[in-house]
A and B are shown apart, each in its own frame.
Chain A
Amino acid sequence: MESMTSDHAADIGDHDAADIDRHVRVYITVFVALMALTIVTVAVSYLDLSPAMAITVALFVATVKGSLVACYFMHLISEKKLIYAVLVITAIKFVALLALPALTHGNGLWIHE
């Protein structure tokens, strides 16, 4: 059997019960926040906002919810540097991917009709 003394991976050895209890309380708080924000998302859609405003609000709330899931359920709040590096590269490419339609649409940056 491999060593269980290194950090992080050998969580079972390192974390005491109180530590996990604290984690669990955070998970429950995040869960309640996610439920509340789901209600907000649906409620806002009944407000008859302008399309631009509706999209902004909906994506803002979705981003907050997504961040809560990523930071707490996926433990990104305390992760190793290499994971952050992978995600920064991914984020840059993801934004470029989403910007592509905007750049090519109509009289975009590169395509002239």
Chain B
Amino acid sequence: MDIPYTVEARRDTGLTNGKIGIWLFLASEVMLFGALFASYILIRTGAHSWPKGDTILNVPMATFNTIVLITSSITMVMAWASLMRRRFGTFRIYMGATILLGFVFLVVKYFEYSAKFHHGLYPSSNNFLALYFTLTGLHMLHVAGGMAVNAYLWGAGSKLWKTNPVWFTNRVENSGLFWHFVDLVWIFLFPTLYLL
């Protein structure tokens, strides 16, 4: 049996099932990260002293990573726009760039983590680092998850383009929604952890 409403919108919602599904998932993600941000506020306001992020963390590296993620967001949306223009080759280039930029983000993060560990700074060291590693660690898992889906859509999953281009385009749009959300979370994580 085929999954219903992957191409045409349901009459009552005006949406494809995939679209409403991804938004409900993102709503649950808002609450997941929201709980961690609430923990951050609780722990920070309850602390006698709190380090300014830039005294412990590497701001230039994080600024670079912010630029990387924002760039990956525009390549993601351009990948979708390429499909809307029926240019599959261009889609491949933009989607490939998106995956590559996600990889660059993770590599920079690896160097950041390594430097912390090298200096004996672990999640157990203090509350600030516990929050830093939990929040950025969960965010990194999201980057990796988004990359996996995007890699599937770039590779094996792109066969769908030949048989049902509208369905494929909708899949890319939904994957993009998740990817932009991951970018959005970082936009808040960056100043909260590194600059304040």
Contact = CB atoms under 8 A, between A and B. Distances in A.
Give the contact-size bracket for chain B: 35 or more
Contact of A12 (B39, B78, B166): B166
B180 A8 contact: no
A61 B27 contact: no
B70 A58 contact: no
A9 B9 contact: yes
A65 to B, nearest CB: 5
Contacts, number: 167
B41 A98 contact: yes
A6 B37 contact: no
A69 B38 contact: no
Given A9-B7, A11-B84, 13 more contacts: A4-B8, A7-B14, A9-B15, A42-B59, A54-B196, A59-B191, A74-B180, A80-B15, A87-B27, A93-B31, A93-B34, A97-B34, A105-B42
18 contacts: A2-B6, A4-B7, A9-B166, A10-B9, A11-B84, A13-B166, A27-B78, A35-B67, A58-B191, A69-B180, A69-B187, A73-B73, A73-B76, A82-B15, A83-B19, A90-B30, A100-B42, A101-B39
